[in-house]
Amino acid sequence: MATRTVPLVDLGKQNAELRSEIDAAIAGVIDSGRFILGPEVAAFEEELAASCSAKFTVGVSSGTDALLLALMALGVGPGDEVVTSAFTFFATAGVIARLGATPVFADIETESFNLDPFAALAAVTPKTAAFMPVNLYGRLARLPPTDIPILEDSAQSVGCGTPRGLAAGYSFFPTKNVGALGDAGAVATNDEDFADKLRLLRTHGGRPKYFHAVVGGNFRIDALQAAVLRVKLRQLDTWNARRRTNAARYSELFATKNTSEIMTPEDSPEHIYHQYTIRVPERDALRDHLKEKGIATEIYYPQPLHLQECFADLGYKEGSLPCTEAAARTSLSIPIHAHLEADDQAYVVETIASFYG
Ligand SMILES: Cc1ncc(COP(=O)(O)O)c(C=O)c1O
């Protein structure tokens, strides 16, 4: 039995810190009786836009729906291709396929885990309707120089700055750097017409109400989630700064050990360390060792998307995307959350070093 435990995330501590403000925000929505859109959602969208230096944000039901809605607003559909990464959460490609379009997977860069912009450009065909690079683990992907619209999957990178392409989709899944008390997401854009299309499609494409020139869906964020997120958003910069401090501490701690087998993540100024992901040999055995010692870890992601059974008809094979496949075999995310203690980090590094020593 491990004498000590280090969880991957600690939502208890995070919520306890803000509990009275969260309770007041929820009570405010209940008292207002406005549960669908309304002033809380409008205020949340304004505050989120300010916090990510975007002109417009549109609150939606999840990060998945943020990406789906952005693709719908761009008019992506059957016959279109969208170039993206296969080293990501399933939603990135799932939304493309759900619209009848084809995900086209290009390889990643080993150091950043993100889509290689030149591999992405090489995958362009006359059918390419968009690029969907993923800002994985809180680090911005390098973008391809292109006129083709770019929709960033920034689900893991809220607080990384303004959308660099046409739009960026954010997730507020509870374990994200800023998390709702349930599902929520948003699309950020600097394009006013695009923001207008997003808002229209978010409510079934009805404008005026009950008159539909286009088919949308119900993609609204709950007012309750918006109210809670307004409280948490005020902490985002502080929490992200703490994650950066924790990342720097890990890198220093690893440097003191004889752990040449371990590749620590490459830093970049905007990195907000949604995950601190190392690359290691004997990854699965190390993970078991850490579990025995009470340290939680996760593999994001063990099966790359081009090798998922549901995409078998796309014709990718083992070996199609070597850097992606190597990342899936060797990467391991260790605890990095904003409420992590320095001595827990020392314990994590000590325990990893003891496995290789
Ligand atoms: C890279 C990436 N894309 C999309 C999503 C989907 O977000 P959500 O879970 O809020 O639907 C997530 C989060 O889980 C994610 O990590």
pLDDT tens-digit map of 307-329: 999 999 999 999 999 999 999 99
Q: Which CATH architecture has domain 11-233?
A: 3-Layer(aba) Sandwich (3.40)
pLDDT of residue 1: 66
**Residue 171 belongs to what H/E stretch?**
strand 167-171
**CATH 3.90.1150.10-classified regions of the chain:** 236-356
pTM: 0.97
pLDDT tens-digit map of 106-136: 999 999 999 999 999 999 999 999 999 999 9
Centre of ligand 1 from the C-alpha of residue 63, in Å: 5
Centre of ligand 1 from the C-alpha of residue 169, in Å: 9
Is the confidence at residue 258, as pLDDT, over 90?
no
Using the atom order of ligand 1, give the atom closest to the CA of residue 136.
Answer: 1
Q: How far apart are CA 195 and CA 58, in angstroms?
A: 7
pLDDT tens-digit map of 262-303: 999 999 999 999 999 999 999 999 999 999 999 999 999 999
The fraction of the chain above a pLDDT of 70, given in percent, is 100
Q: What residue owns the CA closest to ligand 1's atom 8?
A: 63
- Does residue 91 line the site of ligand 1, with CB under 6 A? yes
pLDDT category at 261 given cuts 50, 70, 90 is confident
For 62-82, give the DSSP string: -HHHHHHHHHHHHT--TT-EE
Is the confidence at residue 98, as pLDDT, over 90?
yes
pLDDT of residue 6: 97
Mutate to test the pocket of ligand 1, among 71, 89, 136, 299 (most ligand atoms within 8 A of CB): 89
Using the atom order of ligand 1, give the atom closest to the CA of residue 88.
Answer: 1
Least confident interval from 9-18, 74-83, 305-314:
9-18
Buried b (16+ CB within 10 A) or exposed e, 196-214: ebbbbbbbbbeeeeeeeee
- Does residue 153 line the site of ligand 1, with CB under 6 A? yes
Least confident interval from 3-12, 108-117, 190-199:
3-12
Using the atom order of ligand 1, give the atom closest to the CA of residue 64.
Answer: 11
Percentage helix, strand, coil, to 5, in the chain?
Answer: 40, 15, 45
**CATH 3.40.640.10-classified regions of the chain:** 11-233
- Does residue 63 line the site of ligand 1, with CB under 6 A? yes
pLDDT category at 31 given cuts 50, 70, 90 is very high
pLDDT of residue 181: 97
pLDDT of residue 2: 74
Q: What is the average per-residue pLDDT within 180-184?
A: 98
Is the confidence at residue 11, as pLDDT, over 80?
yes
pLDDT of residue 259: 78
CATH of domain 236-356: 3.90.1150.10
pLDDT category at 212 given cuts 50, 70, 90 is very high
- Does residue 135 line the site of ligand 1, with CB under 6 A? no
Using the atom order of ligand 1, give the atom closest to the CA of residue 156.
Answer: 16
8 Å CB contact between 248 and 268: no
Q: How far apart are CA 128 and CA 83, in angstroms?
A: 7
Using the atom order of ligand 1, give the atom closest to the CA of residue 185.
Answer: 10
The β-bridge partners of 36 are 222
